[in-house]
Structure 1
Amino acid sequence: MKPRSSAAQPSLPGNFLRQAINQDLERGTYSTRRWGGSPGDARHHAGGAPDIARIRTRFPPEPNGYLHIGHAKSISVNFGLARAYQGVCHLRFDDTNPEKEDVEYVESIKDSVRWLGFDWEVGGTSHLYHASDYFDFMYRAAEYLIEAGLAYVDEQSAGQLRDHRGDFARPGVNSPFRDRSAAENLRRFRQMRDGELQEGAAILRAKIDMASPNINLRDPTLYRIKYAQHHSSGSRWCIYPMYAFAHPIEDALENITHSIATLEFEDQRPFYDWLLQHLAQGGLINTPPPRQYEFARLNLTYVVTSKRKLKQLVDEGHVGGWDDPRMPTIAGLRRRGYTPGALQLFADRIGVSKADSWIDYPVLEGALRDDLEPSSARAMVVLDPVRLVVTNWDEAMGPGHLEPCSAPVHPRDPERGERTFSFGRDLWVERADYSESPSPDFFRLSPGKLVRLKYGYVIQCTGAVKSGTGAVTEIHARLLPETKSGTAGAAAVKVKGTITWVGVADCVQAEVRLFDRLFTVPQPGAGERSFLEELNAASVKVVTAYGEPSLRQTLPEQRVQFERQGYFVADRHDHQPDRGELVFNRTTTLT
């Protein structure tokens, strides 16, 4: 990475975050800051070289679940800004809540970030950090606040704390423990640390203003007692910092310049600034301190993004796991066939703003189709098959003859070559492509009508065979021999309908999973009904389909457009072509 310059970044697509960054670069707000080579306190960074990163951002997930599409937007914003401004984005695990966190989630988060096309390694240096690595400094910062008269140990009950906090209509009430001496507070806080008090017996609070109209400034909690095994630090600590206390400290130690959060943290910003101002005055952190900016979180129709609700769906068996293709998790979207490019395009299109709004799911599907169309190979697949018999085949073409047919792998990219398949007496076609009593605008198979079988021949339907229940079991048609696609006679017969098909002789059998939206309403759980009551019972249908022989070559996660059907992906877990097990998930329809 080249040394940074204080010059403004060349003009880029505008939003309020870019405007703030451009202003800081023009003013040289962070141009004198130094970087100690790793996170650390003021002394650590003072001994380092000038920070070559023009900006530093961070993506700070809590490892208590799998990332979802809302996180994909945040990843794109934070890593994308760092990339655009020759900066660095840190991946930081906010692991300050040991009861809900797990190494499984840590690994899944790393995998998701990298799959989206981003990395926390810059110039051979890893910028992957854990909040738990800063527990020693956080404790030191807490003792500093106590000694400065800015924090105290409160031993009220949970009910008293709740009652004394007040609400938007009435101010809070000072705790009876608020005016204890610094020495006494320090003694009690060390007893908390040393495991001499029970959970719930005491908390450490900042001393700010119990009458503040911003309830977040009414002496917020900094530390609580929690006897739990931490996935990283083990049992070393029995007191853990609250997120509102830990988060700004983490930003400061990591030299973050622009701390980008979602709107629910806007009311927390005054405390963020209060804490960093006092720690800077005490010489504990680098200056100038980071600044927090908030943007609207992603609200997407027909989706829930609450980690609690997503975990409930998994734990109660409503879905097959965190990577179920119906889930809005990044792992689920990936298995469904979404691409990093589609999610990035979606994030770019919806942009960032300060106003909460709902994004219609079709906006995401539109970005997905736009990304898949130019890259996806084509194939013909019949999802609801019924046999079509060309009754004059032996007479017209010869007994047992198979006519080779071909089609482009991609219609707008001839360099990708051709795919080949055989046309014979017996074919598979879609059941819905036949009607005995068609409407005037039905141009597919019906008695007496001519139809082109795509890339093959024109046929004339002569009728169908039905079961005792009236279901069609076989369709009959006659071949027009001189009408093969690509030959001189192809245009000799005019038809209004063209349908897809596959040959019985060389087709492959596949399991195809037809996924639909997981919920039946645009905003699940928005009313008085439980979001579980709004689950779509028909969100997945599994069918046995027949497809072109080219599908034998597909690899897991390879995306294909099934002509007339939609976009599909070979399942990353269950698709095993070397064993003849072909499994495809529907990603989205064509429209």
Structure 2
Amino acid sequence: MKYHKKKINIGFIDKIIQKFLHNHNSPIHTRFPPEPNGYLHIGHAKSIFLNFEIAKNYNGKCNLRFDDTNPIKENIKYIHSIKRDIQWLGYQWYKETKYASQYFQKMYEYAIELIKKKLAYVDQLNQLEIRKYRGTLEKGGINSPYRNQTIEKNLILFQDMKEGKIKEGQACLRAKINMNSACIIMRDPVLYRIKFKKHHQTKNKWCIYPTYDFAHCISDAIEGITHSLCTLEFQDNKKLYNWILDNINIKHHPTQHEYSRLNLEYSVLSKRKLQILIDNNIVKDWNDPRMPTLSGLRKRGYTPTAIKNFCNKIGITKQNNLIEMQILESCIRKELNQIAYRTMAILNPIKVIIYNLPKNYEQKINILNHPKNLQFGKRKIHFTNEIYIEKSDFQEKGNNKYKRLVLGGTVKLKYSCFITAQYIQKDKNQNIKKIFCTYQIINKINYKKYGIIHWISKKNTMQAEFRLYNHIFNIKNPDIKKNILSYINQQSKIIKYGLIHKSITKNLMIKFYQFERIGYFCIDKNFCSNKKIIFHRTVTLKENWNT
């Protein structure tokens, strides 16, 4: 059998896969198992990439399974969003969508099996008491007074739980393992709890729900998963994963392997913390372009290819580290450099009047839509005696480092002529209102000594809204701080009302633009017409143009 359709950077996981293939005559079977309690973020993209790419490259299968064991936090809208994000990334799961809730009856039967083997009991301690009895890292736990109930008593109580005869929080099913284990998770973990909440899949059929740890390993085994890949915080959970499968009558036994989770600079990748940003109106919703969610990145203009290239670039390791934001940004810059149409836009306009040209002067200039790809075609821009330039491209007094327009100085207009600033007009607040220039003819020999600025003719402009995004946080690693709201970047979103060429509205199907000297932008299709148009800045140019 041939594998490796393309080289993927999965680090030590590759050796695990190769060893499995050498020793087994069966295909690789992975799964992506999200909990439907929020939207996917860039950290989930790493898991999606790993599981689906392994299946693709080793002729295997990858399931999509929702580990839907907590109806209180789950919502059908998250299921739809997760499916949409996975398909947007270009992946398709094996056969139909799976749900842990499909296996609730089987899990219930396995719980009965553990009770009959004296490996589980119904505890009637409350949540605070259970936590107190569990002990600490330095001190062992204390056995529950209900730990040694008879099998018959436990079966009756568990049946009462199932039939809704016991109130929420008054009983739970716990595994009977070792209250003095060095691994706290093995100190009689909870396997089932009571929740009187309608489930989005099973409706009101159940009022007891398995915990994630109990459901996850059983779901993997039922589905024939060969490699259960998860992040390092589940390393201790592996002991419970194996204990459950070793002590129930189930044939298949997957193996769990851990890798480091994704930590990204200036971001938090926790659903709970991302929800804090929404609840405190720092961002509008999960798809806010500043959010590290896949829906937010998509709205901002990130592409599936760029995100997958990023996941491949950072690779899979066992070492936790903070990934530089510039790695993600370099991936989208590289792609947009290939696919974005070039044009000019003015975010902070100031009028320039070239008074030695006639008022009705108009020159049509043909320019390429992409400097390296002729298939993008050409477009026409109009040069007239009244144009707009960026305010930051003019100073009354310059210096040797300032290579733009100054009073008495000369610059080249991109794709056009040279102009020299002769005098200015100010308003009553002493703000520059207009710059009066003259058209100049410069010998080609001297071109290099002049700066080049972009511009738009007054005759061919329309107003547009530009949304400029920066990091939500003003520190590199907000995730380690107790109060993330203390480190919010107040300039994470800046709105500018500037100018674009009207010609952009002739083909609104084009999504990505490089506004020369400014950055890469994408059109918001929800606010896109001949009268109104909104652009989201995806990423700045390599030489960050300060707006």
Number of aligned residue pairs: give it. 541
The residue identity in structure 1 corresponding to 2:339 is S
Matched, 1:286 2:255: no
Residue 150 (structure 2) aligns with: 181
Residue 84 (structure 1) aligns with: 57
Distance 1:526 1:573 in 2: 36
Contact 2:349 2:499 in 1 (8 A): yes
Distance 1:336 1:169 in 2: 48
- Write the mapping of 1:396-407 to structure 2, written as runs, cut at 5 A: 399-407=359-367
Distance 1:134 1:423 in 2: 69
Residue 216 (structure 1) aligns with: 185
**Match for 1:111 among 84, 87, 111?**
84
Shift of 1:155: 1.1
Shift of 1:573: 2.4
Residue 519 (structure 1) aligns with: 473
SS of corresponding position for 2:526: coil
Residue 30 (structure 2) aligns with: 57
Contact 2:342 2:514 in 1 (8 A): yes
Residue 589 (structure 1) aligns with: 540
Contact 1:8 1:26 in 2 (8 A): no
Distance 1:266 1:461 in 2: 67
Contact 1:446 1:462 in 2 (8 A): no
Residue 46 (structure 1) aligns with: none
Matched, 1:17 2:19: no
The residue identity in structure 2 corresponding to 1:181 is T
Relative to structure 2, which stretch is displaced further, 489-498 or 67-76? 489-498
The residue identity in structure 2 corresponding to 1:319 is V
The residue identity in structure 2 corresponding to 1:516 is N
Contact 2:267 2:479 in 1 (8 A): no
Distance 1:493 1:344 in 2: 42
Structure 1 residues 106 and 498: CA distance shift in structure 2, 3 A: same
Q: CA RMSD in A?
A: 1.8
Distance 1:99 1:302 in 2: 30
Contact 2:10 2:315 in 1 (8 A): no
Runs (4+) of structure 1 moved beyond 4 Å? 7-14, 489-495
State the identity %: 40
Distance 2:305 2:127 in 1: 48
Distance 1:142 1:24 in 2: 31
**Match for 2:423 among 463, 484, 491?**
463
Residue 252 (structure 1) aligns with: 221
- Provide Cα deviations, 1:107-154, integer angstroms capped at 9, x if missing partner: 111111111111115xxxx24111111111111111111112211111
Distance 1:217 1:11 in 2: 41
Distance 1:463 1:435 in 2: 12
Residue 442 (structure 1) aligns with: 402
The residue identity in structure 2 corresponding to 1:286 is K
Distance 2:509 2:267 in 1: 26
Distance 1:212 1:231 in 2: 37
SS of corresponding position for 1:366: helix
Shift of 1:14: 5.7
The residue identity in structure 2 corresponding to 1:231 is H
The residue identity in structure 2 corresponding to 1:443 is K
SS of corresponding position for 1:373: helix
SS of corresponding position for 1:452: strand
Residue 311 (structure 1) aligns with: 275
Unpaired runs of at least 5, structure 1? 33-53, 484-488
Give the TM-score normalised by the residue count of structure 2. 0.95
- Write the mapping of 1:413-428 to structure 2, written as runs, cut at 5 A: 413-428=373-388
SS of corresponding position for 1:544: strand
**Match for 2:439 among 469, 472, 479?**
479
Give the TM-score normalised by the residue count of structure 1. 0.88
Distance 2:244 2:345 in 1: 61
Distance 2:154 2:510 in 1: 58
Distance 2:411 2:6 in 1: 55
Contact 1:557 1:572 in 2 (8 A): no
Distance 2:387 2:146 in 1: 84
Matched, 1:536 2:489: yes
- Provide Cα deviations, 1:333-390, integer angstroms capped at 9, x if missing partner: 1111111111111111111111111112112111221121111111101110001111
Contact 1:568 1:588 in 2 (8 A): yes
Residue 72 (structure 1) aligns with: 45
Matched, 1:354 2:318: yes
SS of corresponding position for 1:522: coil
**Match for 1:503 among 457, 460, 482?**
457
SS of corresponding position for 1:118: coil
Structure 1 residues 433 and 543: CA distance shift in structure 2, 3 A: same
Structure 1 residues 336 and 250: CA distance shift in structure 2, 3 A: same
Distance 2:357 2:375 in 1: 34
Contact 1:9 1:22 in 2 (8 A): no
Residue 295 (structure 1) aligns with: 259
Matched, 1:152 2:115: no
Contact 1:508 1:552 in 2 (8 A): no
The residue identity in structure 1 corresponding to 2:515 is F
Unpaired runs of at least 5, structure 2? 543-547
SS of corresponding position for 1:333: helix
Shift of 1:25: 0.3
Residue 94 (structure 1) aligns with: 67
Residue 333 (structure 1) aligns with: 297
Structure 1 residues 461 and 494: CA distance shift in structure 2, 3 A: farther
Shift of 1:447: 2.1
